[in-house]
Amino acid sequence: MKKLLTAMMAILLAITLSACGNDSTNEPMGDQNTAKPETIVKENAGDAHANGPHEPGPDDVCAFCNMKVYTEADPMGVFTAQAKTKDGDYLFFDDSGCLLNAPRRDQLEFEEKWVRDYVTSEWIQADAAIPVKANLKTPMKYGYAFFQDQESAEKYTAENKDKNAIIASWEQLDQLASDRYRKKMNSKSMNKDSNNMKNSGE
């Protein structure tokens, strides 16, 4: 009986040691498997925004006017703009005027802003982009295209005299956007006053 008990103890000890050995062998794998999904989630969450601009999805809409935002593949996608807020949020805009009006309405502060280069469709820093005003059909009818350098902007204006293409400035575009926004707000205010007068029976 004593021999049987000793044999059973030896078997249990062997099994326990074997299991411990397997646990220690699997432990790093377990740690890797546990850590890997977290890393992937963090990388996937951060990759889209980590190095600046990214592409809009099919369901993204303009953060200012709520209209469709065009992707790079669409001919109108060359007019899409985007910005990163001080809070780290990324916002898309269907046209450059909306990019400029969003801070007016929503008291936003942008850390970075991007527009697409009209020739390559690549994202470029808005502050460094050269604006060109032309008879162009843009989503919100602002008619501005952007170029990554003076040379390509001048080439476009020289080759598109029929579109009245001229090199412009961000100040001119901002003034246009501001005027349109102010008119829209005045119109809304007048409509509201008119409705209030109707409702009060005046």
Range of the domain at 120: 75-193
In this structure, is residue 116 part of a structural domain? Answer: yes
pLDDT of residue 187: 84
In this structure, is residue 14 part of a structural domain? Answer: no
In tens, the pLDDT along 10-43 reads 554 444 444 444 443 333 333 333 332 232 223 3
In this structure, is residue 111 part of a structural domain? Answer: yes
CA dist 19 to 5, 6, 9, 23, 183, Å?
A: 21, 20, 15, 6, 76
In tens, the pLDDT along 131-174 reads 999 999 999 999 999 999 999 999 999 999 999 999 999 999 99
In this structure, is residue 68 part of a structural domain? Answer: no
Domain count for the chain: 1
In this structure, is residue 200 part of a structural domain? Answer: no
pTM here is 0.70
- Contact, 122 vs 79, CB < 8 A? no
Task: Give the other-Cβ count within 10 Å of 71's Cβ.
Answer: 15
Here the CATH number for the domain that contains residue 107 is 3.30.450.410
In this structure, is residue 66 part of a structural domain? Answer: no
- CA pair distance 46, 71, nearest whole angstrom: 21
In this structure, is residue 85 part of a structural domain? Answer: yes
